[in-house]
Chain A
């Protein structure tokens, strides 16, 4: 052994170093059976709701997008005669039947532009310009630890930006420093860094101290929760990591999962076929990983806007307005279409081209937060300023 453990527990870093001894990690990971969790799956790039949950009972659909509707064709999974699931989402049918899955058919952020970056920003800021994201403000309003809010992906999404601590865990579930270093050396590096940040209260030092501690805690907790499923692709990987974080009982109340690949201006049928198979497998795996714990969890999909009702000249669709959302979880009042269906005839379309919004994204998130985490109305008003929450009745009372 090259590295000496001599002095590992000696000196100023003793207190912290002791906490990192493997045996002591269990103290951190004490199960807290009362924790409930909201998982927000961001579909960045504007997901075509009309392809995800086709309103096949509406005769306008085939007229507006003949080739796209034909491609969906017979593989579509009917839900209620009006709406169906894209074939790729077939694994979710059991959840629909069991009443755990609801659909919001025309959802969007009122007043957002058709610019990806503007609309994503505005949605993540909570509908009004702000330096902080709605999810960060959400944890500011409750007792929280470093693991109350976690982003799964490459970076901290705007929704979680702000004054409160929020962690980023990579899709693969990797977290922490020196991940490619061999274990013994890595232990030494982490112990050395822990010593380095053991003293001092300047902002960098205290953040670094917290970051190292949280990363260790999460890494150990995830190691104790190996994945039972292996869905393909980045969405599956991310949702399995989210499920493992929930299973690990770290007290995570808000998990934001970033997904991409939804901006389908061209060759939409092929591209969304891949995307929805990946999404369907991912959500099914997420539920499988959670098992009974799904009772304490709500997963909601959300996108910055939807896509044009009519297909364009390149086998795709352009930037639109309303999209659709899937809401899955034990507290969801499911097997229902929640929110009005505006219709697809030209006179019903927003600016003559887009599915009109009947449910504001803030009300969707508000219902999920209230129904899962018992977030009250004054708090919702702080998360989504200048917006009075209109309950959708999405969740069971």
Chain B
């Protein structure tokens, strides 16, 4: 639901609190108010590049110019993804959509491969399924017109991290993203939370399916089964309140008791009343009377979703992704205010973040080191590349950020420190070299189209034109040193094609392209 009055009020408050002067415009007049942000007018292509680098997987050739004339329109359209016609996104999914088959069919396929070709067949089938599942994410992230939706799908998939490498989760993770993350990625946080809590992938990944309160004398009691705190803890620490969210070890135990019986049967969610703890519980000071059954779990999730600590934790995470590794406090405050007023309406919160002057401040632009996924996706988009097969998933596994295989429930890091090792920078250089030489696995690039060879032009004219095109491809543009280096090295090879390879490699390996 739109709440223009509220937003206008917040905007005024934020403006008053903003220490930096608003962006000056060339010819301010008494009647035209100075725009607070480029959304309201006076946007340059660089402003559009900034918005696209945070709310999409990077600009396509020419996109920033177009968007700069319609900043607010682009944002509103992206906040309502169902209104965007998306044949490219749909087509990109086609080669990998087998991975979205029901879990029992996926499991059967592995069993058949094992029957036909033993261990080798089983491993091959599992490997194929893993890569295809990862590509259902990567292919759409790159090709879809619904870019903000894809960014948020990635954000929530990581926030509610599950791993394809844990048991039967390998057959359920794709369904988890399709049925819980995607339908709610720009919707209501409480709906999203409830959907993830009931999905078998999450119940199995964090062991809640095994967590039981056995009745005395039952089979489970004889087997020594009992409470498992894994999901209860991560639910509060990672999904909602945050590690400093004020819960205690006793709260963890009580939450685990509330969620006993939330289990899995034949690849689907099932509440097992027999294994549910019927006693009374207290979570964060809230009393849950005895006999609450499945409903008390729903009540618990609502309690956690609407808790102030959750607003702060999740809004901070959002601002880390969309604004800066250490987001300015003002933008988090704006986001929290809208989160509270709208009971966690994700689209409204994102709108508030983007409307905050802090989002546009020079101090946050081009400061975030791209994660490997952002690097690869933005590189392919920048040259208008086409994704063909699972090659990119292999590249991302090597770079350490393939979808749905984060090594821990915390998911992948959203800040630079995690992505800057010597090994990963060497891999990033190889990605740039691969792109430049047409050898980036799984990607077809028509370099002759994007960066034509001289074709009769003088080499000097051609080099300048190539450098200008590359400059436009790199969000934020090329710095003087990079430009000089490219210029220098382009002049060395005799063959223009080799000069172009070097130039593209240097541009995409440049420090400028590693940031956004």
Residues of A within 8 A of B (CB): 2-4, 6-7, 11-13, 117, 121, 146, 151, 154-156, 158, 163, 165-168, 175-178, 181, 185, 188-189, 192-193, 195-200, 202-205, 207-208, 210-212, 214-215
Assess whether B489 is in contact with A192, with CB atoms less than 8 Å apart.
yes
Q: Which of A154, A166, A203, A214 has the most CB of B within 10 A?
A: A203
How far, in Å, is A303 (CB) from chain B's closest CB? 17
**Given contacts A12-B481, A176-B426, A192-B485, A117 and B166 within 8 Å (CB-CB):** yes
Contacts beyond the supplied A121-B407, A176-B426: 14 A-B pairs with Cβ under 8 Å: A3-B493, A11-B484, A117-B166, A155-B423, A167-B423, A178-B433, A188-B492, A192-B489, A192-B506, A196-B506, A204-B425, A207-B421, A208-B425, A208-B428
Q: Which of B166, B398, B485, B498 has the most CB of A within 10 A?
A: B485
Assess whether A200 is in contact with B481, with CB atoms less than 8 Å apart.
yes
Assess whether B426 is in contact with A212, with CB atoms less than 8 Å apart.
yes
Tell me, in angstroms, the Cα distance from A203 to B511 when the chains sit together.
Answer: 9
8 Å CB contact of A177 from B416, B426, B485: B426
How far, in Å, is A186 (CB) from chain B's closest CB? 10
Instruction: Give me the 4 closest cross-chain CB pairs, A-B, nearest first.
Output: A211-B422, A168-B423, A208-B425, A211-B425
8 Å CB contact of A146 from B417, B422, B502: B422
Assess whether B369 is in contact with A189, with CB atoms less than 8 Å apart.
no
The interface size of chain B toward A, counting residues with CB under 8 Å, comes to: 39
Is B70's CB within 8 Å of the partner chain A? no
Is B505's CB within 8 Å of the partner chain A? yes
Residue of B with least CB distance to A199? B481
8 Å CB contact of A196 from B421, B482, B515: B482
How does the 8 Å CB contact mask read for B398-413 relative to A, with 1 for contact and 0 for none? 1010000001100000
Give B463-516 interface residues, CB cut-off 8 Å to A: 481-482, 484-485, 488-489, 492-495, 498, 502, 505-506, 509-511, 514-515
Residue of A with least CB distance to B367? A202
Assess whether B420 is in contact with A203, with CB atoms less than 8 Å apart.
yes
How far, in Å, is A10 (CB) from chain B's closest CB? 9
Is B430's CB within 8 Å of the partner chain A? yes
Residues in A with CB closer than 8 Å to B417 are 163
Is B284's CB within 8 Å of the partner chain A? no
8 Å CB contact of B498 from A2, A177, A200: A2
Q: 16 pairs across A/B with beta carbons < 8 Å?
A: A3-B498, A4-B493, A7-B488, A117-B166, A117-B407, A146-B422, A156-B400, A177-B426, A178-B429, A178-B433, A193-B429, A193-B505, A193-B509, A195-B485, A207-B425, A208-B509
Assess whether B420 is in contact with A207, with CB atoms less than 8 Å apart.
yes
Residues in B with CB closer than 8 Å to A154 are 398
Give B140-189 interface residues, CB cut-off 8 Å to A: 163, 165-166
Residue of A with least CB distance to B398? A154
Tell me, in angstroms, the Cα distance from A192 to B493 when the chains sit together.
Answer: 12
8 Å CB contact of A189 from B400, B408, B505: B505
Does more than half of chain B's interface fall in helix, strand or loop, or is it mixed? helix
Residues in B with CB closer than 8 Å to A185 are 498
Q: Which of A4, A167, A185, A204 has the most CB of B within 10 A?
A: A204
Tell me, in angstroms, the Cα distance from A202 to B420 when the chains sit together.
Answer: 11
How far, in Å, is A206 (CB) from chain B's closest CB? 9
Assess whether B495 is in contact with A2, with CB atoms less than 8 Å apart.
yes
Assess whether A11 is in contact with B488, with CB atoms less than 8 Å apart.
yes
How far, in Å, is A247 (CB) from chain B's closest CB? 22
Residues in B with CB closer than 8 Å to A11 are 484, 488
How far, in Å, is B484 (CB) from chain A's closest CB? 8
Assess whether A196 is in contact with B485, with CB atoms less than 8 Å apart.
yes
Tell me, in angstroms, the Cα distance from A176 to B417 when the chains sit together.
Answer: 21
Tell me, in angstroms, the Cα distance from A11 to B163 when the chains sit together.
Answer: 48
How does the 8 Å CB contact mask read for B116-148 relative to A, with 1 for contact and 0 for none? 000000000000000000000000000000000
How far, in Å, is A150 (CB) from chain B's closest CB? 10
Residue of B with least CB distance to A155? B400
8 Å CB contact of B494 from A2, A7, A155, A203: A2
Residues in A with CB closer than 8 Å to B429 are 177-178, 193, 208, 212
Residue of B with least CB distance to A179? B430
Residues in A with CB closer than 8 Å to B495 are 2
Residues in A with CB closer than 8 Å to B408 are 117, 121
Tell me, in angstroms, the Cα distance from A15 to B388 when the chains sit together.
Answer: 42
8 Å CB contact of B430 from A146, A155, A178: A178
Residues in B with CB closer than 8 Å to A178 are 429-430, 433
How far, in Å, is A238 (CB) from chain B's closest CB? 15
Assess whether A156 is in contact with B423, with CB atoms less than 8 Å apart.
yes
How far, in Å, is A119 (CB) from chain B's closest CB? 12
Assess whether B422 is in contact with A214, with CB atoms less than 8 Å apart.
yes
8 Å CB contact of A192 from B398, B502, B514: B502
Q: Which of A7, A196, A203, A215 has the most CB of B within 10 A?
A: A196
Residue of B with least CB distance to A170? B423
Tell me, in angstroms, the Cα distance from A199 to B495 when the chains sit together.
Answer: 28
Tell me, in angstroms, the Cα distance from A154 to B423 when the chains sit together.
Answer: 10
Tell me, in angstroms, the Cα distance from A203 to B420 when the chains sit together.
Answer: 8
**Given contacts A117-B166, A117-B408, A3 and B492 within 8 Å (CB-CB):** yes
How far, in Å, is B218 (CB) from chain A's closest CB? 20
Residues in B with CB closer than 8 Å to A198 are 481
